[in-house]
A and B are shown apart, each in its own frame.
Chain A
Amino acid sequence: MLAIRDCRGIRATCVRLVCSRMAVRSDSRRLTAPHTFVLKRFARRPLSALATLALLIWAVTSVAAPWVAPYDPIAQDISNRLTSPSAAHLFGTDELGRDVLSRILYGGRISVPAGFAVVAISGAIGTTLGAIAGYWYRWLDDILMRLTDFFFAFPPIILALAIGAAFGPALYRSVVALVIVWWPQYARMSRGMVRVLKKREFVEAAYAMGATDWRILMKTIVPNAIRPIFVMGVLDLSNGIVAVAIFSFLGLGVQPPTPEWGAMIASGVALMDKWWVSLFPGLAMVFVIMALNLLGDDMRDVLDPQSSRR
């Protein structure tokens, strides 16, 4: 009994050894420990630093919005409606006399996290389902692939809008509607990666040494598959934010008077000469999205060097 247990222990160490060796060897450039390597390469990129700074500005201002914002974002002041940018109202006021700057600051608490949520939830669901289907079940794999085929046959936003319209307008409902059409791409990606990795020698070695399925999945496949998926997710964040904003822009997402960037831009559409109502929320959005894109690009170069050549 004892001998068997010992045997298993040795086997496990062997598995661990082989896995770590192989993982390192699969990316020959990674000579230092992975984390310092990543940080070092990041530090060498000035644009990444700028982008991180931009995101920090967003994070700080939206967390501290109640203290930073000069006015109440919902309080109406009809006598001061649609005033152009001035010292009192840096970004002007909207059609109900609300301060645009304050609404942008508060809006950052909704627009950006909602977009993050869409990507994070879809990523988690899609990756898990894809990995399970790719590793274990043929029948699940077949079902999953037909299901994703269906989703890929339609432009996602139109499908999401149809579902979202049926759910009725509300922020969390639009997030759910978006997740429904969003997860298949992650399922496809993770399924594909798992199926490729499954045939690699180090996974077969682990299998040959008697590692359990769970162990193989968690110790050899997931660590190798997670980076490209993570990079894809980061690059996808901007799409998530825009998608949520489209919902609000069309009146399906966040409901008034809650400040949200997409809805704020929509309220400026009819007010041609009052350009500040839609210009500034849009700029805020471009600011965050640009930072995310820059960061995502650099992250791809650093974390997933194979795909960055494309």
Chain B
Amino acid sequence: MIFVVTHMIPTDPATVMLGDKATPQVIRAFRQRWGLDRSVYEQYALYMRNLARGDLGVSIRSGQPVTADIADHLPATVELAVAAMLFSSIVGTSLGICAALTRGRWLDGIIRLTSLAGVSAPVFWTGVLLIVTLFYYLQWFPSGGRLSLTLEPPPHITGLYTVDSLLDGNWRLFIDSVKHLILPAISLGAYYMALFVRLARSSLIEEFQTDYFRTARAKGLTTERVLVHHALRNALVPIISYSGIAFGGLLSGAVVTETIFSWPGLGRYAFENALTFDFPAIMGVTLIIGLMYVAVNFMVDVLQVVADPRLRDTL
């Protein structure tokens, strides 16, 4: 399917890669080299055959196998997306709980206003603002990249710098990589944090109005106790189910965030290749991201059953 979309587009990678001045001979040689002179069906059959072997082809732009390129870029994006996800779900849910507990009072008002602003601010703008204030003026955090230029990346174990440096026992490296991670993760996660605040708040308030909640309060339990032992679990279900969608959004947002923070991840890689019509690379990345998306949504389904055992029958 992605194959159809990318090949329906009426552009020729040969002219884009070689420029306007390329002679017809060069163009012909280029096409032959990349199999672009064959019919679309032949190209498709070839691609599918290679795909079945786990071979995504060779990137026209970098000359490397697409799988190798993706392996290079994927850990950075995973690290960023996971950090943003943790930030948005943990901070968002706790703020939402605070707001629900203080409903109608000033703290609730402030949190709701912040979340409204968070939902309304475009991801690239928050990124730029964070860089200007926290990097340029306050100099608390670095502005981009995964590590300071003076530091060597940790030995490759998982590809996640934070995890690898910890495994290596290198604290300086760990702190540096975490510092580099904070700004992009906040700017990427801000929107979803705000959404989680609203979601947690509204579903908790709904729980507060249920009969079981009233019963529990009536028999003398404190609000906090009912919250922790009963209401939170119920309120978590919509939050978990939403996080699957949020993850897809995070991957989309990663394209922009990675560009701003010069984060060498998959989003930026996809975008740069899209600009040069590097078909194998675009198809490979879209495929991998699609797979990740499906895998995360599967995990979300499982988590949902864990949170709400009633759903077990639907599996």
Contact = CB atoms under 8 A, between A and B. Distances in A.
A289 interface: yes
A246 B256 CA distance: 7
Most buried by B among A246, A262, A266: A246
B282 A162 contact: yes
B145 to A, nearest CB: 15
B18 to A, nearest CB: 17
Interface residues of B, number: 44
Contact of A273 (B136, B238, B289): B136
A156 B264 CA distance: 21
B286 A158 contact: yes
Interface in A133-189: 150, 153-159, 161-168
B270 A158 contact: yes
B140 to A, nearest CB: 14
Interface string B82-105: 000000000000000000000000
A153 B294 CA distance: 7
Contacts of A153: 290, 293-294
Contact of A286 (B120, B131, B286): B120
B286 A162 contact: yes
B124 A158 contact: no
Interface string B164-198: 00000000000000000000000000000000000
Interface stretch (B4-12, B24-32, B34-42): B4-12
B259 A250 contact: yes
Interface residues of A, number: 41
A285 B128 CA distance: 14
A293 B251 contact: no
A285 B294 contact: no
A155 B249 contact: yes
A275 to B, nearest CB: 5
Most buried by A among B125, B131, B251, B259: B125
A157 B252 contact: yes
Contacts of B259: 250
A49 interface: no
B120 A165 contact: no
A285 B125 contact: yes
Contact of B122 (A156, A158, A282, A294): A282
A269 B255 contact: no
Interface string B156-168: 0000000000000
Contacts of A282: 121-122, 125, 128-129
Interface in A248-287: 249-250, 262, 265-266, 268-269, 272-273, 275, 278-279, 282, 285-286
A44 interface: no
Contact of A158 (B120, B125, B289): B289
Given A162-B282, A310-B202, A293 B125 contact: no
A242 interface: yes
Contacts of A272: 131-132, 135-136
A166 B271 contact: no
B293 A166 contact: no
Interface string A26-69: 00000000000000000000000000000000000000000000
Contacts of B267: 158
Interface in B265-282: 267, 270-271, 274-275, 277, 282
Nearest to A268: B128
Contacts of A245: 122, 124
A210 B270 CA distance: 55
A64 to B, nearest CB: 24
Tell me what chain A mostly uses at the interface: helix, strand, loop, or mixed.
Answer: helix
Interface in B213-258: 238, 248-249, 251-253, 255-256
A290 B286 contact: no
A286 B274 contact: no
Contact of B124 (A159, A238, A249, A290): A249
Given A157-B252, A273-B136, A290 B293 contact: no
A262 B206 CA distance: 38
Nearest to B119: A293
Given A154-B286, A265-B125, A163 B9 contact: yes
B76 to A, nearest CB: 16
A246 B122 contact: yes
B120 A289 contact: yes
A5 interface: no
Most buried by A among B5, B120, B253, B293: B120
A262 B259 CA distance: 14
B251 A158 contact: yes
A309 interface: yes
B71 interface: no
30 contacts: A154-B248, A154-B293, A155-B248, A158-B251, A158-B252, A158-B270, A161-B271, A162-B6, A164-B274, A165-B274, A165-B275, A165-B277, A166-B274, A166-B277, A167-B9, A238-B120, A242-B123, A245-B124, A246-B122, A246-B255, A246-B256, A250-B255, A250-B271, A269-B128, A272-B135, A279-B132, A282-B129, A285-B121, A286-B117, A290-B116
Interface of B: 1, 5-6, 9, 11, 116-117, 119-125, 128-129, 131-132, 135-136, 202, 206, 238, 248-249, 251-253, 255-256, 259-260, 267, 270-271, 274-275, 277, 282, 286, 289-290, 293-294
Complex A-B, nearest 8 residue pairs according to Cβ-Cβ distance, in ascending order:
A165-B274, A157-B252, A282-B125, A166-B9, A155-B252, A290-B120, A272-B136, A289-B120
